[in-house]
Amino acid sequence: MTPDLSKITAEILTRASSVERLVVAIAGPPAAGKSTLALQLADTLRATSSVSIVAQDGFHFDNAILEARDQKPIKGAPQTFDVDGFAQLLSRLKHQREPVAVPVFDRKLDLSRHCASLVSPDDRIVLVEGNYLLSDEAPWDQLDQFFDFSLLLQVPIDTLRERLVQRWLDHKHTMAEALERANGNDIPNAEYVIARSTNADMIVSHYGGA
């Protein structure tokens, strides 16, 4: 494990030892490496505990809703998510000990699949990853109450831009289209996350995930 992973894993296991379920927020800008970190942590933690991953992306509004609101071009911005629905799910994960169904965003289909995954009552650690988990602005600021431990990934904006352009190139966009998508929507969202995220328990700098 890298020093970051080793340190984070040790802290999570220490905190999990004294609670029935530990809910961990993994926040950061788009392309900071949140999903990669969540997967790597889950793989490591599963040696000693049962773990589930829940992603904020499952709460994207459907494209039909975004089109009706003229928000499709800014899909992924803070206002294009069902934050209240996300908060209700986090409350269930925090307090409920029955199986909890969660939505999963399908990138190929560009939509959320309802009840696509289950968090088991035996999952003692739930890793929640998303851009706006630590935002200090309403309605996102209601989420903080559900997290027992929080991580904030910090990556230089130029590195984020390179990763975001490459992400769109990997989705078969032209270079011009990739630059437009990255600079027109992704980078403003990244700047919002950098400016508005607060109260992280641990900062993870220059994380290598994409």
Q: How far is CA 118 from the centre of its chain?
A: 17
Note whether residue 102 is domain-resident. yes
Q: Is residue 210 part of a domain?
A: no
Residue 209 inside a domain? The answer is: no
Could you report the per-residue pLDDT of 85-133, keeping only the tens digit for each? 999 999 999 999 899 999 999 988 999 999 999 999 999 999 999 999 9
Q: Any idea what the CATH number is for the domain that residue 102 is in?
A: 3.40.50.300
**Measured between alpha carbons, how far is 23 from 12 in angstroms, rounded to an integer?**
10
- pTM of the predicted model as reported, rounded to 2 decimal places: 0.93
Structural domain including 98 reads 3-203
pLDDT in tens, the chain (210 residues): 455 889 999 999 999 999 999 999 999 999 999 999 999 999 999 999 999 999 999 999 999 999 999 999 999 999 999 999 999 999 999 999 899 999 999 988 999 999 999 999 999 999 999 999 999 999 999 999 999 999 999 999 999 989 999 888 887 888 998 888 888 899 999 999 999 999 999 999 866 554
User: For the chain, what is the domain count?
Assistant: 1
> Does any domain span residue 86?
yes
Judge whether 208 lies within some domain: no
Does residue 94 form part of some domain?
Answer: yes
CB 63 within 8 Å of CB 108 = no
